[in-house]
A = this chain, B = another copy of it.
């Protein structure tokens, strides 16, 4: 009974997760769905659009809960009801120190989310390039760093530095993983990099 867009995206997600980007072809996807390749183009414009949707899915969990406060536009999925203010968060407005911790938490969760999907960094890197300041976790990081006392402009620049460093790191790690090379030192290298950037 008629394929729909979600089934296409779900199947693509499954192939990416399980076999990696090299195996995520439109033809393979069609085969998995029991349909001719051309049928997919009724539901998605092209492969690039499909990958953009997958990138959104990877970073979506970052836009929920976590740092409590929801500054305008922080949550893309469900625009929070009018008077929703921070509830069980620290005082009325978080302390600078705690907000910097929020940034560390955010970039760490971003890394985990991307790292958890095979070739995730390749997919998310394109989405970041298309919309560097709109794609998560950039706006959330900018907000956290502003709360920590930075001016908005340097906060955004620092956010971009964190995101690009993270994507560079995860790209390197996932390339090594795909070749069965060791990656034991890479988590510590990531942490050191984040500390240096936020020092």
Chain A residues within CB distance 8 Å of chain B: 125-126, 128-130, 132, 154, 157-158, 160-161, 163-169, 171-173, 175-176, 179, 181, 189, 192-193, 196-199
Q: Are A164 and B165 in contact (CB under 8 A)?
A: yes
* Copies of this subunit: 2
Report yes or no: A189 in contact with B168, Cβ–Cβ below 8 A. Answer: no
Q: Roughly how many angstroms separate A171 CA and B130 CA in the complex, as a whole number?
A: 11
Which B residues are CB-close (under 8 A) to A167? 168, 171-172
Chain A interface secondary structure, helix, strand, loop or mixed?
Answer: helix
A196: contacting residue among B126, B129, B168, B197, CB under 8 A:
B197
Report how far A128 CA is from B186 CA in the complex, Å: 13
Name the distance in Å between A145's Cβ and chain B's nearest Cβ.
Answer: 11
- With A181-B130, A196-B161, A199-B199 already in contact, the answer to whether A171 and B168 are too (CB < 8 A) is yes
